[in-house]
A and B are shown apart, each in its own frame.
Chain A
């Protein structure tokens, strides 16, 4: 069964618009970790953020912000004032229980296209 769902396949925005990427996860573990990775056209997956299941505090890093809500099993990602360099595929991922943070279950990814 799919444990991480990213329902949006592709989102297209014009530069300076905000874009929110949805991520819904499923787990029975009380301890787990959630991640967002960015895959630019060059291909590598770039780590953006990690949250643990006990910390629901939202986080902001520059133009990036994350909204973690355990009640809805969601970990959404917002890019504010998008730029062309934000064009990439974004993956949400889950690491369960005592699993290594490198053993990840990925969502299908959301392609973000930012046009000038």
Chain B
């Protein structure tokens, strides 16, 4: 069974550009989470989808970040326009239910120059 897959694995963009990260959860997992780890900081929760609905987006840093999960399958996280402080590793995780363990992807390393 395929695990959580994230694309791309690494992205380097210039300040002011737009980047879209993609996450494919484990098949059948209704719950999808986004996290990020900026340099020197802890891994921080961004938001939680249940199917296509945003259950909790309390961790989204600002309105430059837009997450979608159309159809309740894969999810995208768009950063527009990117700023230098957005550099870090963005993780996606999925779980079958809200009370089962979350499985994480390998992360997307975003570098904004």
Main secondary structure of the interface of A (DSSP, over half): loop
Q: Mark B75-113, 1 if CB is under 8 A from A, else 0.
A: 000000000000001010111001111111111000000
Which residues, 41 to 94 on B, are CB-close (under 8 Å) to A? Answer: 41-45, 48, 55-56, 89, 91, 93-94
Q: What is the minimal beta-carbon distance from A110 to any residue of chain B, in angstroms?
A: 12
Pair A103/B45 contact, Cβ less than 8 Å: yes
Chain B binding surface, main DSSP class: strand
**Interface code A79-105, partner B: CB below 8 Å = 1, 0 otherwise?**
000000000000100000000111111
The listed residue (A42, A45, A46, A108) touching B42 by CB distance below 8 A is: A108
> Interface residues, chain A, CB within 8 Å of chain B?
2, 4, 35, 37, 42-47, 50, 91, 100-109
Chain B residues packing against A (C-beta within 8 Å): 3-4, 31, 33, 35, 41-45, 48, 55-56, 89, 91, 93-95, 98-107
